[in-house]
Chain A
Amino acid sequence: MNEHNQDKQIDIADIRKRLSESQGKAYWRSLDELAETEEFQEFLHQEFPRQAAPLQSSLNRRDFMKLLGASLALAGLAACAAPVRESEKIVPYVRAPEEVVPGKPLFYASAITSGGYASGVLVESHMGRPTKIEGNPDHPASLGATDSMMQASVLTLYDPDRSQNVSQEGNMSTWEDATAALSAALAGLEDGEGLHILSGTITSPTLTSQLNQVLGKYPEARWHQYDPSHSDNVLTGAELAFGEAVQTRYELSEAEVILSLGADFLGSGPGKLRYTREYSRRRRVYDEEHAEMNRLYLVESTPSITGSVADHRLPLRDAEIEALARALAEEFGIEAQASGRPEAVSAEWFEALLEDLQEARGKSLVIAGAEQSPAVHVLAHAINEALGNVGQTVIYSEPVAANPVNQLASLTTLVNDMNADKVNTLVMIGGNPVYNAPADLNFAAALNKVPLSVHLSMYQDETSAVSTWHIPQTHELETWSDARAFDGTATIMQPLIAPFYGGKSAHELLAAVLGETETNSYDVIRAFWREQAEGDFDAFWRNTVYRGVVEGTELKTKEVSLTAEIPAPSATANGEALEVVFRPDPSIGSGEYANNGWLQELPKPFTKLTWDNAALVGPATAERLNLRQDDVVELSLDGRSVEAPVFILPGQADNVVTLHLGYGRSNAGNVGTGAGFNAYALRNSENPWSATELSLSKTGERYKLSSTQIHFSMDGRNLVRSGTLAEYEENPEFVEEMEHIVESDLYTDWEYNSYAWGMVIDQTVCTGCNACVTACQAENNIPIVGKDEVAIGREMHWIRVDSYYRGDLDNPELLHQPLPCMQCEKAPCEPVCPVGATMHDTEGLNVMVYNRCVGTRYCSNNCPYKVRRFNYLQYAELEENAFAMQKNPDVTVRSRGVMEKCTYCTQRINTARIQAELEHRSIQDGEVVTACQAACPAEAIVFGDINDPGSKVTAYKASPLNYGLLTELNTFPRTTYLAKLRNPNPALLAAGEEGGRA
């Protein structure tokens, strides 16, 4: 036995060594080769004696597949630094079977962070492979919803471009060597002078405590923070208003009148999912529970998804937004040094807003955008105070982030120290400052002066290339960690899989800085929480990890007093000057998701652009500057310039050019490198979010942008039906009256004796955030096709979000329409397929039989909604690479030459059916949740059995707002829409004011 054990040890070590030596894309291919080796066979025998046996004897297909799965999973595990320890139990969330049942997924609670803040997730795991991310209903920042980045993070986990080994100045090295080098350097520092640590925003309690230990051990060490999407203005605003750092969060469920001063509170920021949920619940007037519809006034410089659901939206330049805030504050008796309301805001609009706010005292809310100047934040605090909103719709608390600092100042200090050769050792925990630091700081040059720089990162990125040491970082699904949500609630994050590429977590790196090179994240996290927990620690641990939320960690309301020191207005910029506005990209963020194919190919809201960013300009500006779509322009600011293609975006404020950050990466990986242009090249530390005096000149060149939509007007077709609350109250049937008369058709109706699945999409609350699109992609194994294929119209998304403009060109109404398959009752696609590959099933689904499809594509031609997608080439990867492990085993991976489409997540229906039949009952309402529905933060998608009179979907279908798209074609769609209701101020409607919105 002992002998055996020894052999086993040797084998594992050997295999581990092989795996750690292999690198690059060769890694996954090498698994097959590895499986051939004697060592692996031996290993297999000892690890799975019963399963290995069939290898020598006859092997049937089923066993072979099982074995294949087992050996691959096993090899994946062997790749990590240490196999999961006996003590590292991770706790399943929903069902807790004693062992893994093949074919049945398990769900584990964890969290995905964005900008340091956590959103709780439940990760679906098939036989040890995380495949899909769902929101954690118990988590305050998620409430069960997700956004597209959370959905896509599972793809990043498997990304073969991730860094796979420690490297020293580009040469492969080991963790041991790296820690040795670090220890040696630290040994030379008495009290830590010269040791600098750079991190992003940190909310992790454990990491904070580790940092504090480091600072305790090395009192002269410095901790800097920088995140390109920093909220310095929010912090400065709070400090000016209250004299201390204060976290602001909102109770949108209490707010009746909301004014957003450039805040995209539904589309960005750590609380967006919860805010979307609360906001949308206040807009569903036809639900009995929520009778009062809220009203949102919004001013912004560039269209955001929040703007698209506002009742009154005005495009304003950032400077004008501040002027509006000052003018408004004056009305509440606040000394705001106002110089009158901006011209673009009409007197009627201003009066209406003022009146609404005043009437809704205590139930109103003013939100300032994170990108707005500190003054706007102070003014928002002051107005909220004046309206009595504090404690009602606005809640103040201690900051969630550890040690909040002005990050630009913090980074500037670091760069100055580096340039002054004061930095001996720089430890960078994540981040990519060489790429995303303000251009004027020239971080790369400064970094070159640091003798020892250690960069912990998931990719060998721009910063890794300049650092002396690069250490591969674990993905959030690979390591134990913790993080806090926007309201302070902590989550203990559990790993779903052992690290693929020998990655190290931030906890392990900091432990190494503290000299504990052998410690792992699990021990660090457990040790920290052992101190926090009261009572039985094991019970606390199990329960907390299981639920994904640490009870009672939400930050308590804090009493603050407004000192209201309102900064003087900066010199008003010349109104004629071109203003540039920087925003994180709606799909790939500030660049951290640049190598994620799902997000690169995700059509951005409004523009529907994929694989690129663009210089967004309004129609009036384009006309004045004589710009056409796809023209390449040279943008210069402060002596730095960048070339960018132009995209003309209605709803953009005049004279404002919006640039999305996150593109133009040079070391992103195979997917992200070279996509788009680098807007950071223009961004400086003085004006991180907007700057005037941008100069723009045409280069005469053209650049082909790939947008999934080429026509954004409804051309008078009655597609997105909408009305105002007043219209609805006066005549609830107003939508029905828009209907074309549908006469009965020639064909007999289908009969449904069991279930009849149906869907309703509520356009009133849909923000067009795209979460559904990525969720569908993850659930249904939808391939990406690349920019060139998108350019010729071959994207594969099964659900898309159509975007339309209506009304005034400069301030149009922005409309979204998510479009999955309509599952028509009389589907035009069905009779035209010559081989019967698309059929109507007994529950009304329009199903697709991939194996039968010969690819005539007639079904797509005859589909009036064009929701069918065709595999023109072999889009799905056939290679056994890492991405193969992400695939949902319940959904076929389609080959080239076959048509595919949405089938209401038929695999989920079947899972529920099997469960229901085992329990001798029928499927209950709410038991089947489609992937798009699960992700939706606005609860805009309702799915269920329309044969069940008690189901929610049946109730929605009975709503007078319910209508079908193109019903005049007698398709009888199963997916229907609720007309979009808005709640504009009647006074503004009467005045006819309001470009485009009335």
Chain B
Amino acid sequence: MTVKPRDARKVIETDRVIAPGQSYGSVDDAVNSPVLLPLGRTKLWWFIGFGIAFSLLMLYLYTVIYLIVTGIGIFGNNIPVAWAFPIINFVWWIGIGHAGTLISAILLLFRQDWRTSINRFAEAMTLFAVAVAGLYPILHLGRPWVFYWLFPYPNTMGLWPQFRSPLDWDVWAISTYASVSMFFWFIGLIPDLATLRDRSENRFAKLMYGMMALGWRGSAKHWQRYQRAYLLLAALATPLVLSVHSTIAMDFAVAQLPGWNNTVSPPFFVAGAVFAGFAMVLLLAIPLRKVFGLEGLITKKHLDNASKVMLATGLIVLYGYVIEIFTAWYSGVEFERFMAFNRMFGNYGWSFWALIFFNSVAIQPLWSKRVRNSPIALFIIAISVSIGMWLERFVIIVVSLTRDFLPSSWGDYSGTLWDWSLYIGSFGLFLTLFFLFIRFLPSIAVAEIKELVHHTNHSESHEAPPTEVS
């Protein structure tokens, strides 16, 4: 089997789940070959991208060290705004992770074959986003070095955590989510790791992939157990899609602060998370398919479907905004009414209207198929949604805190340079992991795609014979 030079291959744009004419070999070529390239022949764009990501990671580490040495006061938080940037960013990153789990688990159970091309990197995205998000609540503590007091471990103090606190529910939600996502991702990787092991020519790579492949030989028994485990994990992960962000929504819904204390919060947060998550999937998929030439595997069909999900969840989120304002008025509670008024017309009114623009107005072009088929338009809309969802958390968390019950204790808030450096730096952590991932692991689930190729070819073979590429 010879590898066909990449530039010779024509870019195939298609509306189908995979481009016509794919074979096992072509899939391997497209996905696995770049992974197996010797380090020295890594493409320049990767080094540039990784370099930027790594620099941001260093900014992150610098901020974290300064934070731990100096204290949480380096941020703009105050009384009344005791939670601000770090919690906004925490919720934002966790939200981003949601698309991955939704794609891998729920769509698997619903047998949506289009998920196959994007689930691997979406899951990786989930994992990295959760890692980034999970660090925020710890760094945000006044005394981060005692974060483990939130875990129920046997200790000489004879103390348990306080299980009534939503923050302790968070600990469980996030750790469960992180571990299930990790297993799911890893199990899905095993057949691909075996392929890489078999195809790699470098001894060290062979050894590493071999260890990670856990002795996979591709026997029918292996496949049977693999499929069962995968499906079980999918079933396990499915409720997590709903529960994790619901739990995080409880951090706010349980409090009695106007603007937080909303029963609609859990489903509203989940919709928002999927919304933001699909935006991030698009943000990653569009450049990825371009640089790896994966247009045949991540097709316009995928972009189209992802944008439809985005539109649908975006509309749910818009409904959430409307219903929050309605409830505030309908409750008749003066504090709630003031909160809604202040959100729209107070000091930070700009943030509310900006979020409406980015989250609700900017997604309206997605009704058009032309827009849904334009990677550039989608990329711009996805960026808009990411900004909008960040602003949404700003509005909920910060703006609600600035004006609560007693006018005497009202305060204002503005983020400091450190707030921004920790946020921007966290992209460094995320992107560094992501760049390592796309360089050393197949960013598309090869085994699953091959299965899809098989099915497609099988059903199509009645019409025309498959084109053999190599």
User: A residues near B, CB below 8 A?
Assistant: 709-717, 719, 789, 792-794, 800, 802-804, 817, 819, 828, 831-836, 852-858, 860-862, 864-866, 868-874, 895-899, 965-966, 969
Query: Is the beta-carbon distance between A864 and B404 smaller than 8 angstroms?
Result: yes
In the complex, what's the smallest C-beta–C-beta distance from B339 to chain A, in angstroms?
12
State in angstroms the CA–CA spacing of A899 and B141 once bound together.
11
Q: Assuming A709-B408, A793-B80, A866-B404, is B168 touching A854 (CB within 8 A)? A: no
Which chain B residues in 152-168 approach chain A with CB under 8 Å? 159-162, 164-168
State in angstroms the CA–CA spacing of A655 and B160 once bound together.
63
Query: Is the beta-carbon distance between A856 and B159 smaller than 8 angstroms?
Result: no
Query: Is the beta-carbon distance between B162 and A857 smaller than 8 angstroms?
Result: no
Query: Is the beta-carbon distance between B82 and A834 smaller than 8 angstroms?
Result: no
In the complex, what's the smallest C-beta–C-beta distance from A13 to chain B, in angstroms?
44
Query: Is the beta-carbon distance between A869 and B79 smaller than 8 angstroms?
Result: yes
B406 at the interface (CB under 8 A from A): yes
State in angstroms the CA–CA spacing of A854 and B80 once bound together.
18
In the complex, 12 of the A-B residue pairs with CB atoms within 8 angstroms, ordered by the A residue number, are A716-B334, A793-B78, A832-B164, A854-B142, A854-B147, A855-B72, A855-B142, A866-B409, A869-B79, A872-B142, A873-B72, A897-B143
Q: Assuming A828-B255, A836-B162, A862-B257, is B79 touching A868 (CB within 8 A)? A: yes
Among candidates A713, A714, A870, residue contacting B79 with C-beta atoms closer than 8 Å: A870
Q: Assuming A802-B406, A831-B162, is B143 touching A862 (CB within 8 A)? A: no
Which chain B residues in 64-93 approach chain A with CB under 8 Å? 70-73, 76-83
Query: Is the beta-carbon distance between B407 and A896 smaller than 8 angstroms?
Result: no
Residues of A within 8 A of B73 (CB): 789, 794, 872-873, 896
State in angstroms the CA–CA spacing of A714 and B142 once bound together.
32
Question: Nearest B residue to A855 by beta-carbon distance?
Answer: B142
Residues of A within 8 A of B410 (CB): 710-711
B412 at the interface (CB under 8 A from A): yes
Query: Is the beta-carbon distance between B150 and A793 smaller than 8 angstroms?
Result: no
Q: Assuming A710-B410, A832-B255, is B162 touching A861 (CB within 8 A)? A: no
B171 at the interface (CB under 8 A from A): yes
B367 at the interface (CB under 8 A from A): no
Query: Is the beta-carbon distance between A831 and B165 smaller than 8 angstroms?
Result: yes
Residues of B within 8 A of A864 (CB): 256-257, 404-406
In the complex, what's the smallest C-beta–C-beta distance from A841 to chain B, in angstroms?
15
State in angstroms the CA–CA spacing of A852 and B157 once bound together.
10
State in angstroms the CA–CA spacing of A714 and B81 once bound together.
20
Query: Is the beta-carbon distance between A872 and B146 smaller than 8 angstroms?
Result: no
State in angstroms the CA–CA spacing of A866 and B404 once bound together.
9
In the complex, what's the smallest C-beta–C-beta distance from B254 to chain A, in angstroms?
7
Given A709-B409, A716-B334, A862-B257, 10 more pairs with CB closer than 8 A = A715-B338, A794-B79, A804-B407, A834-B165, A854-B143, A856-B167, A861-B255, A861-B401, A864-B405, A872-B78
Q: Assuming A715-B407, A834-B165, A854-B141, is B71 touching A872 (CB within 8 A)? A: yes
Residues of B within 8 A of A717 (CB): 334, 405-407
B62 at the interface (CB under 8 A from A): no
Chain B residues touching A, range: 35 or more
B215 at the interface (CB under 8 A from A): no
B411 at the interface (CB under 8 A from A): yes
**Interface of chain B, main secondary structure:** loop
In the complex, what's the smallest C-beta–C-beta distance from A463 to chain B, in angstroms?
38
Q: Assuming A833-B162, A857-B83, is B408 touching A804 (CB within 8 A)? A: yes
Residues of B within 8 A of A860 (CB): 79-80, 82
Question: Nearest B residue to A969 by beta-carbon distance?
Answer: B256
State in angstroms the CA–CA spacing of A872 and B251 once bound together.
21
Query: Is the beta-carbon distance between B142 and A899 smaller than 8 angstroms?
Result: yes
Residues of B within 8 A of A832 (CB): 164-167, 254-255
State in angstroms the CA–CA spacing of A965 and B408 once bound together.
13
Residues of A within 8 A of B405 (CB): 717, 864-865, 966, 969
Residues of B within 8 A of A873 (CB): 70-73
State in angstroms the CA–CA spacing of A709 and B83 once bound together.
19
Residues of A within 8 A of B72 (CB): 855, 872-873, 896-897
B149 at the interface (CB under 8 A from A): yes
State in angstroms the CA–CA spacing of A43 and B30 once bound together.
85
Residues of B within 8 A of A895 (CB): 143
Residues of A within 8 A of B76 (CB): 792
Query: Is the beta-carbon distance between B168 and A834 smaller than 8 angstroms?
Result: yes
Question: Nearest A residue to B410 by beta-carbon distance?
Answer: A711
4 tightest A-B contacts by CB?
A: A855-B142, A897-B142, A872-B73, A793-B78
In the complex, what's the smallest C-beta–C-beta distance from B373 to chain A, in angstroms?
45
Q: Which of B251, B257, B407, B408 has the most CB of A within 10 A?
A: B408
Query: Is the beta-carbon distance between B409 and A865 smaller than 8 angstroms?
Result: yes
Question: Nearest B residue to A714 by beta-carbon distance?
Answer: B407
State in angstroms the CA–CA spacing of A541 and B254 once bound together.
65
Question: Nearest B residue to A898 by beta-carbon distance?
Answer: B142
Query: Is the beta-carbon distance between B70 and A835 smaller than 8 angstroms?
Result: no
Q: Assuming A831-B162, A856-B167, is B255 touching A862 (CB within 8 A)? A: yes
Question: Nearest A residue to B165 by beta-carbon distance?
Answer: A834
Residues of B within 8 A of A857 (CB): 77, 82-83, 142
Residues of B within 8 A of A709 (CB): 408-409
Which chain B residues in 21-77 approach chain A with CB under 8 Å? 70-73, 76-77
Among candidates A834, A855, A862, residue contacting B256 with C-beta atoms closer than 8 Å: A862
Query: Is the beta-carbon distance between A834 and B141 smaller than 8 angstroms?
Result: no
Among candidates B80, B166, B338, B408, residue contacting A817 with C-beta atoms closer than 8 Å: B408
Q: Which of A792, A874, A966 has the most CB of B within 10 A?
A: A792
In the complex, what's the smallest C-beta–C-beta distance from A798 to chain B, in angstroms?
12
Residues of A within 8 A of B159 (CB): 835-836, 852
In the complex, what's the smallest C-beta–C-beta distance from B66 to chain A, in angstroms?
12
State in angstroms the CA–CA spacing of A872 and B143 once bound together.
10
Question: Nearest B residue to A836 by beta-carbon distance?
Answer: B162
Q: Assuming A833-B165, A836-B159, A857-B83, is B411 touching A710 (CB within 8 A)? A: yes
Query: Is the beta-carbon distance between A858 and B78 smaller than 8 angstroms?
Result: no
In the complex, what's the smallest C-beta–C-beta distance from A846 to chain B, in angstroms?
14
Residues of B within 8 A of A712 (CB): 407-408
In the complex, what's the smallest C-beta–C-beta distance from B149 to chain A, in angstroms?
5
In the complex, what's the smallest C-beta–C-beta distance from B23 to chain A, in angstroms?
54
Q: Mark B166-209, 1 if CB is under 8 A from A, else 0.
A: 11100100000000000000000000000000000000000000
Question: Nearest A residue to B170 by beta-carbon distance?
Answer: A834
Query: Is the beta-carbon distance between A898 and B161 smaller than 8 angstroms?
Result: no
Query: Is the beta-carbon distance between A871 and B142 smaller than 8 angstroms?
Result: yes
Query: Is the beta-carbon distance between B411 and A854 smaller than 8 angstroms?
Result: no
Question: Nearest B residue to A897 by beta-carbon distance?
Answer: B142
State in angstroms the CA–CA spacing of A332 and B140 once bound together.
70
Query: Is the beta-carbon distance between A858 and B165 smaller than 8 angstroms?
Result: yes
Q: Assuming A713-B407, A794-B78, is B168 touching A897 (CB within 8 A)? A: no
Q: Mark B112-154, 1 if CB is under 8 A from A, else 0.
A: 0000000000000000000000000100111100110110000
Q: Assuming A854-B146, A869-B79, is B161 touching A835 (CB within 8 A)? A: yes
Q: Which of A854, A860, A895 has the most CB of B within 10 A?
A: A854
Query: Is the beta-carbon distance between B408 and A803 smaller than 8 angstroms?
Result: yes
State in angstroms the CA–CA spacing of A965 and B405 once bound together.
10
Question: Nearest A residue to B138 by beta-carbon distance?
Answer: A854
Question: Nearest B residue to A837 by beta-carbon distance?
Answer: B162
Q: Assuming A715-B407, A802-B408, A899-B142, is B82 touching A835 (CB within 8 A)? A: no
Question: Nearest A residue to B414 by beta-carbon distance?
Answer: A792
Query: Is the beta-carbon distance between B408 and A856 smaller than 8 angstroms?
Result: no
State in angstroms the CA–CA spacing of A965 and B160 once bound together.
33
State in angstroms the CA–CA spacing of A487 and B255 once bound together.
55
Q: Assuming A828-B256, A836-B161, A870-B142, is B338 touching A854 (CB within 8 A)? A: no
Question: Nearest B residue to A832 by beta-carbon distance?
Answer: B165
State in angstroms the CA–CA spacing of A717 and B407 once bound together.
9
Residues of B within 8 A of A834 (CB): 150, 161-162, 165, 167-168, 171
Residues of B within 8 A of A836 (CB): 159-162
In the complex, what's the smallest C-beta–C-beta distance from A297 to chain B, in angstroms?
28
Residues of A within 8 A of B404 (CB): 864, 866
State in angstroms the CA–CA spacing of A857 and B86 once bound together.
12
Which chain B residues in 399-451 approach chain A with CB under 8 Å? 401, 404-412
